[in-house]
Structure formats: structure tokens, C-alpha cells
Amino acid sequence: MAEIADRALVRRASIKDATDARALFGATSPLVPLTSIAADQWRQLSEAACEPNGYYLPGWQLAVNAFACGRTDASAIAAWNGDRLIGLMPLVSMWRAYKIPLPALVSAHPYGTLCTPLLDRTMATEAATQLLQSGRDAGAHALVLRDMSLDGAVMKSFAEALKRDGIEPRVLQSVSRACLDATRDADELLHEALGAKKLKELRRQRHRLAANGEVRFDVARSPEEVAAALEIFLALEASGWKGARRTALIQNNGDARFIRHATSALAASGQCEIVTLRAGDTPVAAGIVLRHQDRAFFFKIGIDERFAKFSPGVQLTLDLTRHLCADPAIASADSTASPDHPMINPIWRGRFAIGDVLIPLRAGDPVASLVHAAMMLRHTARAQARRAIQLIRKLKSK
């Protein structure tokens, strides 16, 4: 019965998408409801994509689009070669993304911090060219691609397509994010990253954790295993500071439905694992990992803070590092974490550039310049607000 209700909800969202698209962009607009993209064509594109993005896999993004709080009802532009889907970019209006009333389209956020579009590797530049033209035909003057991989194949394809029209993309902001070279020996990599002294301290903590029962690292892969492990993860996440701040996934009905549907859908295709660290029968840490092509994506982690003195999140990440490095199908892993993340940064020492990119859709367009100015003002205001909050916290702690 629940599955029937969920399908009905998706259909209602699709109808709402179509109505909104016609109202905003006209019946002939190339901007379509995300739910109108056939899932089998989307899956074929994801298999052929020139750059992986686990958060734009159909099983994940369609669950976000149907259920996740504040992230439903996205639209899309698509590129085609005959009846073959060769490019896909989920989008929302600039007003919806930022409450800025300018004619630009913005990457739909998939709950993970990566919005790199999917482009077919055999015709990536052609796909990018079509997507840019579809943006123009939809009436947009610019695209804002947020959380983009700046040095990857997709960004290079867009740059090549824009070059033909004398246009250059503009990076609005960029950061370096932790990643793992999973082709290396895990123990050698961890020794280089943490050093002998730190590893010895972590081994000591692990031995002390074992006083609560044998410490083991479990990997859930099948849909049934993943469903059971997810409930453990959700309980751990809600038991800590995220629960105290009311930001844990299980504390919002829509977010809980999204993550249950998304992990189940991806587990069915071998693209989701949930890793759990246990001391005896007690789970002390768990994490959700997505897989797309030869890359893993470390989505979220939850820990039992009663065991904080044993560094359960670090212990889980050490085991995950060994697990990924031992898997010949995985070449790299994206932490998808903030650039200053205190736990993952010292362990995964690889870095790659990610940022927000503005793409003007016409050369010399003054409206695109307005979009650029508005985005820069927004970034400045947010940075000032963050500094003010940090200052207030410091003053309160004295």
C-alpha cells in the first residue's frame, strides 16, 4: 500500500511540474519536468557518462525530486542523439534557488554536494552544446552550475562548447575538497596521511573500544541488508548533534522517505553500500556510500557519541578507506564534505577543485552581467554572515 501511495505522489508531482513549466516557460519550452525523463534512458546515460556523479543517478535524484524537503518538483533540459539521451541537467529557477528575480536557471541540488551534469562520453561537447541552446530556448540568459567539478571532463566540454560562441564560463567561488586515490595501498596511504604516532593512538583507541565487544566492520549491499543498515544509520545520526539541531534525516518525514527510497533503488543496482562499525552487538558508527562507475561518494556519517573518546567516525573511515582501496572496481572516492572538514581532511589527503560556475548564454549579454553581480553580492553577504556567526560563538564561549 505504501508503494502504491508513493507512486501516486510521484505522478502528482509530475503533473505539478508540467503545469509549472508551461506557466513559466510556455508549452514549447525545452525545459521539462524532471519526472518526464524516462528512467531507462537516464540509466543508460549514467552508464555512458564522461564523469561520474552518484547524486544524479536516477534512483537517487528521482527520490530527492519526489520527497526531499524543499528539493522536489525540479525541471530539466536534455540533449538527444535521435532517441538516445546524451545529456541531462536538472534545474530550478534562480528565484527558487536564491530568491533572485532574474532569468537564469540553476542546478537542482540533489542533497549531495555535487551537481555535475551527465554527458555522454562519446559526444560530450555536442551534448553540452545542445544543453546550452536549450537554456537559451527556455528564455534563460545564464546558467548557474553550482557544486561543479571544475577540472573534470564535463566542465571541459562546456568550455569547448562556449568557446565556439566566444563565451567564457565564470567561476563564482571555488574550494578544494578531500578525495581518496583508491588505486593505492591503503596502509601505505594512511601511514603517509596520519603518521605512525597517530595511527598508534588510533589502534590504542580501537583496543579500548573492543572492551565493549569485538570490533567489526560490516558492509551492507543487497536491498534487504541496506534497508536494515539504513535504520541503524538514521538512529545514530539522530542521536548526535544533528538530532539536537533537528537536522537529522529521520526528523523530517520527506527526507526520511527520500533516503529510504534512494538507498533501496541504488542498492538494487549495486550502487549503494552502508558501512557499519560495531563493538559487539552495538553499532557505534555508520556511513552511506554511493557508487557510480569507478568512483565512490561518501554521503553521510552517523556516530554514537557515547563512544566519542574512541573516535568512532575516524575508525569507520579508516576501515572504509581499506575497503575502497581493496576494491578493484573503485579508482577514487569523493568525500563530498565541506572543504574544512576536521575528520576527513587529515585522512583523505587528495584534493580536487569544486565550485559554482556562471555560464552566460549569449556573448556580451548585460542581463548575464546582472546575474553575475547578484551572485557575487550574495556570496559576499553570506561570507559576512558566517564571520558574524563565528564571532558571536567565540564571544559566547568566553
Average pLDDT over residues 89-112: 97
Is there a domain that residue 59 lies in?
yes
Block residue for cell numbers 603517509: 192
Q: What share of the chain is helix, strand, coil (3-state, %, to 5)?
A: 50, 25, 25
- Is 90 exceeded by the pLDDT of residue 161? yes
Does some domain include residue 66?
A: yes
Q: Which residue has the higher pLDDT, 218 or 384?
A: 218
* Mean model confidence pLDDT for the chain: 92
168 and 197 share a domain? no
Contact (Cβ atoms closer than 8 angstroms) between residue 304 and residue 68: no
| Rounded (5°) CA angle 155-379-244 | 100
Condensed to tens digits (0 to 9), the pLDDT of residues 47-64 reads: 999 999 999 999 999 999
AA identity, residue 349: R
Give the pLDDT confidence score for residue 35 in this predicted structure.
97
Distances (CA, A) of 151 to 98, 134, 386: 25, 24, 27
The pLDDT assigned to 10 comes to: 39
- Whether 154 and 187 share a structural domain: no
- Determine contact, residues 37/65, Cβ cutoff 8 Å: no
Number of domains present in the structure of the chain? 2
pTM here? Answer: 0.91
Higher-scoring residue by pLDDT: 389, 290 = 290
Q: What is the CATH number of the domain that holds 162?
A: 3.40.630.30
pLDDT exceeds 50 at position 226: yes
DSSP class of residue 109?
P
CA dist 362 and 204 (Å) reads 60
**CA 396 to mean position of chain CA atoms:** 33
Q: Is the same domain home to 258 and 120? A: no
- Cα-based distances in Å from 102 to 31, 92, 96, 203: 17, 12, 11, 55
Average pLDDT estimate for 325-351: 96
Task: Let me know how many helices (H) and strands (E) the chain has, helices first.
Answer: 12, 13
pLDDT, position 384: 85
Say which amino acid occupies 124: A
- 129 domain-assigned: yes
Domain end marker among 330, 364, 385: 330
Question: Are 144 and 265 in the same domain?
Answer: no
Range of the domain at 126: 2-173+353-395
- Residue 319 identity (one-letter amino acid): D
- The Cα 240–Cα 250 span in angstroms is 12
pLDDT at 363 over 90: yes
pLDDT for the residue numbered 7:
41
